[in-house]
Amino acid sequence: MARKLLLEHINVPGINTFDVYRSKGGYAAVEKALKTLTPEEIVEEVKKSGLRGRGGAGFPTGMKWSFLAKPEGVARYLVCNGDESEPGTFKDRFLMTYIPHLLIEGMIVSSFALGANTSYIYLRGEMMPQIRILEKAIAEAKAKGFLGKNILGTGYDLELYVQPGGGAYICGEETALLESLEGKRGNPRIKPPFPAIAGLYGCPTVVNNVESIAAVVPIINDGGEEYAKIGIGRSTGTKLISAGGNLKRPGVYEIELGLSAEEFVYGDDYCQGIANGKRLKAVVAGGSSVPILPANLFLKTINNEARLMSYESLSDGGFATGTMLGSGGFIAYDEDQCIVRNTWNFARFYHHESCGQCSPCREGTGWMEKVLHRLEYGHGKMSDIDLLVDVSKKIEGNTICPLGDAAAWPVASAIRHFRDEFEWHVTSAYEATTRNYGLAHYADPLNAVVA
């Protein structure tokens, strides 16, 4: 059985309360960090752990922390990114709902490491139930002396607040999140300056995903080197994968990075295969913005090696034949799902969520949605397919923030891998409105690559 670092005690009754969490070794990392380690030593442990940002970008957390400017007499902030809005991703909601103290503990240790005396957990506004859960957990921790003034008699002060968003995917982008936390529209900022230099209220700020901050707890308890022993290569530790779509057993799984993709989809400890006895057609491995892959390319790389759930293996082959681990938002599509419809759905999502600041994204996402709509509803033209690729290329890389890329990649990858399904929507336009294309050849063994 795989090691669990975050969800080990998830099934213990009452683990959402301070006392039960504490009885299972909770808040030991706070005691260890505040009483025996310096902030620099904590940053060093996180660097040694190899932990990479769990929100999607995969940037090394310890390195991000080490960039934080420390000018004399200026406040520094830690802001936790709980905006979780990437379609397919629901791991942070799960973690905060069932084991909120893990995040609180991680926030205390991380804030101490960064020298922050006020920290914010920014949650998407729709997570009002989780806001109530976290506020209760914060009150409990404060009553026990783990938050507030002079924590555990160490002289370290920390106030922790939960901030709701207002319903905007873009606020998951860290500078848009900071704008939102300052009470403004969620328009991403031009970088540089990066938040590490000028973030919240112009002060040095670190923004980390919920899961990244939670992972700091086992890293401090066991040491960075122990954490780095789990996983494979530069994909160290465990990762929460939120699995949805047409799976027999959808849910949130903590995996050791490097687990085989096949085991994850079909294994008894994980998703147990496709629901209703159907076959797997396609997979979005890391949230809606990463390239969609047909079943055959998801389970095996183009070189016919088993695909692993790790940053490197999932991106093996680049965008031509690979994808990304992203946020761990895993969506499985069975043989009855229509790729054109799904692509239109995602395009509508990105059009809806574009903040409107950059014209390639604001206009391009709208065009892609409209063209995909007419393809799905039987009014498409063959030239529309290349038009979509053209529009996606003109968005990609031409915007202030990565939402443009996130909108372009799903469309480009769907056409790259499922072009015949798009063409069928043109050549058999009426039929395409009455039935789906089916599995076709998307699960067939790959042809050997001949150089």
Partner 1 sequence: MLSVQNTDTPVTFSPELKAKFADVVSRYPAGKQKSALLPVLHLVQAEYGWVSAPAMDAVAEYLSIQSIEVYEVASFYTMYFLKPQGKYMLEVCRTGPCEIVGATPIMEHIEQQLGVKEGDVTEDGLFSWRGVECLAACGFGPVLQIGPEYTFYENLTKESVDTLISDLRRKAGN
User: Which parts of this chain interact with partner 1 (CB under 8 A)?
Assistant: 75, 84-90, 92-93, 118, 120, 124-129, 159, 161, 163-169, 180-186, 201, 242-246, 250-252, 284, 288, 329, 331, 333, 337, 341-342, 345-346, 349, 352-353, 355
Q: How many CB atoms lie within 10 A of CB 103?
A: 27
Q: What is the largest CA-CA distance in the chain?
A: 74
Which amino acid, residue 267? Answer: G
Nearest distance from C-beta of residue 93 to partner 1, angstroms = 5
Q: Compare residues 164 and 317 and give the one whose CB is closer to partner 1.
A: 164
* Both tokens assigned to 35: 């009483």
Q: Compare residues 93 and 425 and give the one whose CB is closer to partner 1.
A: 93
Site of tokens 């390239």: 291
Nearest distance from C-beta of residue 415 to partner 1, angstroms = 17
Alpha-carbon radius of gyration of the chain: 22
Q: Compare residues 33 and 284 and give the one whose CB is closer to partner 1.
A: 284
CA gap 145, 125 in Å, rounded: 29
Q: Residue 212: which residues within 8 A CB-CB, separation 6 or more? A: 51, 53, 54, 55, 61
Q: Compare residues 90 and 298 and give the one whose CB is closer to partner 1.
A: 90
Q: Residue 37: which residues within 8 A CB-CB, separation 6 or more? A: 45, 220
Nearest distance from C-beta of residue 61 to partner 1, angstroms = 22
- CB 383, CB 301: distance < 8 Å: no
CA gap 269, 273 in Å, rounded: 11
Q: Compare residues 96 and 216 and give the one whose CB is closer to partner 1.
A: 96
Nearest distance from C-beta of residue 330 to partner 1, angstroms = 9
CA gap 88, 156 in Å, rounded: 39
Site of tokens 């076709």: 440
Nearest distance from C-beta of residue 131 to partner 1, angstroms = 9
- CB 410, CB 283: distance < 8 Å: no
Nearest distance from C-beta of residue 48 to partner 1, angstroms = 32
Q: Compare residues 44 and 126 and give the one whose CB is closer to partner 1.
A: 126
